[in-house]
Chains A and B, each alone.
Chain A
Amino acid sequence: MQRRKFLQGVGLAAIASTAGCTQLTGGQTESGGAGVSGETLTLTTTTSTYDTGLLDEIHPQFEEMYDVTVDAVAQGTGAALETARNGDSDIVMVHARGLEDEFMRNGYGINRRDLMFNDFVIVGPEDDPAGIEGMGSATEALQAIAEAEAAFVSRGDNSGTHTKELNLWEAAGVEPGGDWYQEIGAGMGEALNNANQQGAYTLSDRGTFISQRSEIDLVILVQGPIEGGPELLSNPYGILAVNPAVHEDANYDLAMAYIGWITSPGAQDAIANYEMNGEQLFYPRALSEDPDFQQYVPEGWSSDSDSE
């Protein structure tokens, strides 16, 4: 129950107790005045980050530093971006580069940073009816599952993991369908439970799988790049602020303070040190001595007037 470890920060209770009032008086929008003290940052994120307990572990430091409250809302990546698109959140932390790029291209998100990564793994029952154990290629593994028509649970919720899964099927040249392929329209944890109950395969991010492993009987059959698996299964997380020019209600100051904090050496260390069942869940990625311009712009974007 690491997630629930009681964090006894001085003043946290006070912050929590005033949070309701701040929202009542619309503190979120009143960015006038000197500081951000007492304000609320609404962060929409994915179930895979939320359910691992990472945010509960690291947020108290940020909340104390700025005397603010972070409201983390766990949704799928698609829903998290949609909520931000409607101006209902200030910042998004997601893992589907294609959707993030679209979000930026449409003008809703700005100041994107690479945040951290882990990887996806293909998990399934120990008896492995499709015989994919140890395969070095994710697409071959999916082809084998499709060929064997072995049960496969799909998130089916337009999340980052679901997007990844669909890309993998496409790369494998398989159009999944039929009784064996089940879209359940639910979060990662539920998908793992569901697959566990019926002895099915599924694609999971490593973090959620590790945090839930003690509850389920599924095993990793195809590893991701962290354990030497194919690069195709990498799972990078990005963080973006909501564009205050589109949504003037967005708490842009605080969102940028958050991005500054979470990409700082201290918070990146905290991410690296976050463990569950003795295993590291996320690998920090924001710090790099070499410039990485691609993290700020949609993938493959280049300026026409390249003056470099």
Chain B
Amino acid sequence: MPVDPVASLLPLFVENPFEQGYVRSIVYVSLYVSCTAVVLSTLVSIPVALTMGFTEFPGKQFAKSVINTGMGFPSVVVGLVVLFVVSNQGPLGAMNLIFTKEAMIISQFVLATPPITAISLAAITGVDENVREAARALGGTRLDVALVVIKEARYGIATAVLAGFGRAISEVGSVLIVGGNITSADGISQTRTLTTAIQLEARQGQYDTAMVLGAVLVALVLTVNAIVVRFGDSGAMNR
């Protein structure tokens, strides 16, 4: 069956194929899971990147290559490992996390942290040595110095956060495994994200609705990127 995107998309704008609240709840779950995961990842990544950027310690190169490898972790493998951890048989079994948003956040946290750390590290290492020395010379504490460096590197850090967000929101393998792609019977998403919804529609041969959801996902990623880039640009102007 040849898919003609224009012809098959047109009627969709006339009759809305989705029940009320369905798409909204999917978008909500996607954003909630990805944003929470990215915020947590950022909170972990930046201190790690600062520590690695400022100090020398044995095994630093090794730690760097571990992080770089982490950027390429296949998401299904991460999903599988998280599944074993949160499964009732696993170490976190008692917390009943399987098939919940929290389990999805865990797997996306694992996926988003390496790119955020690696790119932040590159940005922080790129900050001119003089900036750090000047901050220190002005009597800044370690925290002050760190804040100055973060401020200088913010565009790179914003890029890092975007990369992490892009990885999280566009990822389908792990959220499908640990989340279960669940909606309640009235069509309100519990653990269904845009990506798993697209996968479901494609599985059922409903390529046109899948494409509408795909457009929503792309629009969402574009919007988030635009916001972050704008924030980064205005930062650059103030420099």
User: A residues engaging B (CB < 8 A)?
Assistant: 1, 4-7, 9, 12-13, 15-17, 19-20, 23-24, 26, 28-29, 42, 47, 51, 55-57, 59-60, 63, 69-74, 86-88, 186-187, 189-190, 192-193, 196-197, 211-212, 215-217, 247, 249
Contact = CB atoms under 8 A, between A and B. Distances in A.
Contacts of B203: 47, 51, 186-187, 189-190, 193
B88 A12 contact: no
Interface stretch (B14-22, B135-143, B155-163, B228-236): B14-22
Contact-residue size bin, chain B (C-beta under 8 Å from the other chain): 20 to 34
A28 B100 CA distance: 12
Contacts of A187: 203
Nearest to A248: B88
Interface in B97-144: 98-102
Contacts of B204: 51, 189, 211-212, 215
Contact of A73 (B1, B19, B88, B181): B181
B190 interface: yes
Interface string B164-201: 00000000000000001111111110100000000000
Given A4-B17, A55-B185, A215-B1, A189 B205 contact: yes
Contact of B19 (A5, A74, A189, A247): A5
B177 to A, nearest CB: 10
A132 to B, nearest CB: 22
Contacts of B88: 86-88, 247, 249
Identify which of A16, A42, A187, A217 gathers the most chain B CB atoms within 10 Å of its CB. A16
B205 A71 contact: no
Contact of A24 (B102, B186, B205): B102
B182 A73 contact: yes
Given A71-B190, A247-B88, A192 B181 contact: no
Given A71-B182, A192-B205, A19 B99 contact: no
B96 A28 contact: yes
B237 interface: no
B141 to A, nearest CB: 39
A41 B39 CA distance: 31
A289 B46 CA distance: 68
A48 to B, nearest CB: 11
B215 interface: no
Given A26-B95, A190-B202, A190-B203, A88 B87 contact: yes
B69 interface: no
Contacts of B87: 86-88
A9 B190 CA distance: 18
Contacts of B180: 71, 73
A86 B181 CA distance: 18
A4 B18 contact: yes
26 contacts: A4-B187, A6-B19, A6-B20, A20-B100, A23-B100, A24-B100, A47-B203, A56-B183, A59-B185, A69-B184, A73-B99, A73-B181, A73-B182, A74-B181, A86-B87, A87-B87, A88-B88, A88-B98, A186-B203, A187-B203, A189-B203, A189-B204, A196-B205, A197-B1, A215-B204, A249-B88
A29 B98 CA distance: 13
A153 to B, nearest CB: 14
A19 B87 CA distance: 19
Nearest to A15: B184
Contacts of B187: 4, 6-7, 56
B186 A7 contact: yes
